Amino acid sequence: MKLDFLVIAAHPDDAELGCGGTILKLISLNKKIGILDLTKGELGTRGNAEIRDQEASKASQILGISVRENLGFRDGFFTNDEVHKLKLIHAIRKYKPDIIFAPALSDRHPDHSNAAILVRDACFLSGLPKINTENIDAWRPKLLLHYIQNNYRQPTFVIDITPFFEKKIEAIKAYSSQFHNAQSTEPQTFISQNYFLNFVEARARSVGNTISTEFGEGFESENPLPLAFLIQKFS
């Protein structure tokens, strides 16, 4: 399946939190979007891998994405080595995205920044034809962008997600094991506190305010951006 955009996430729910509104906006523009989760989030304090699989499936239906795959890397312990790179290269070549959204370059959870560098390396290597991945042709995405997660980072550009913010929150809440639930008997975590989704809203309002919209999502690029290409892909 040829995708326009591939969102790569370290854990299930990262994509929804980091760029769920942008995913919804792009789907409304008839773009084909997939999510590639690197791990099952099995080290999370609440829930387990099976529950998070079910929640990811529910969130995917809410978003309306074309495909979702989990590479099954070890949560907390995946590394930027040949084995992990080759699995990621295979996925990139399989879906042939023009643009990849990757985790934040620096963030509270070490898996996020580790994934960002792994994705950056795999994107480059995926374009080298001498790397053999079951005879799938080489493919290098035209653009790599990083969504902003917990730690604030100055965005390179901002997408207006105002019409899609409520549905973004709906997709996030599909992960009911992870976020606030007054009936839950599991331990409290950073993201299960009852004010965490208020933080998500406040961040989106703050970022949106920079472009004079109600809600926004920011993205970071390490390289100069081709404006004409961006306009084509985001409209």
CA–CA gap between residue 10 and residue 14 (Å, rounded): 7
Upper half-sphere CA count for residue 143 (Cβ side, 13 Å)? 22
Q: Using CA atoms, how far apart are residues 230 and 150, in angstroms rounded to an integer?
A: 25
**Three-state SS for 135?**
coil
182: confidence class by pLDDT, cuts 50, 70, 90: confident
Residue 105 half-sphere exposure toward CB, CA atoms < 13 A: 14
pLDDT grade for 172, boundaries at 50, 70 and 90: very high
Q: Indicate the pLDDT class of residue 183, thresholds 50, 70 and 90.
A: confident
Compute the distance between CA of residue 42 and CA of residue 51 in angstroms, rounded to an integer.
Answer: 10
- Residue 92, number of CB atoms within 10 A of its CB: 27
Task: Say if residues 208 and 216 touch (Cβ distance below 8 Å).
Answer: yes
Report the chain's mean pLDDT, rounded to a whole number. Answer: 96
User: In this predicted model, what pLDDT tens digit does every residue of 124-152 receive, in sequence order?
Assistant: 999 999 999 988 999 999 999 999 999 99
- Cα 130 to its chain centre, rounded Å, is 29
User: Residue range 189-209: average pLDDT?
Assistant: 96
pLDDT at 1 over 90: no
| Residue 43 C-alpha from the chain's centroid | 18
Q: Would you kindly state where each structural domain of the chain is located, as residue ranges?
A: 5-233
41: phi > 0 → left, psi -120 to 50 → alpha, else beta; which? left
| pLDDT-above-70 percentage for the chain | 100
The reported pLDDT for the residue numbered 134 is 85
Please compute the mean of the pLDDT values over residues 70-90 and round it to a whole number.
98
Residue 107 CA: distances (Å) to CA of 112, 138, 219, 220: 6, 31, 14, 13
Looking at the predicted structure, is the pLDDT value of residue 184 above 90?
no
Q: Which CATH architecture has domain 5-233?
A: 3-Layer(aba) Sandwich (3.40)
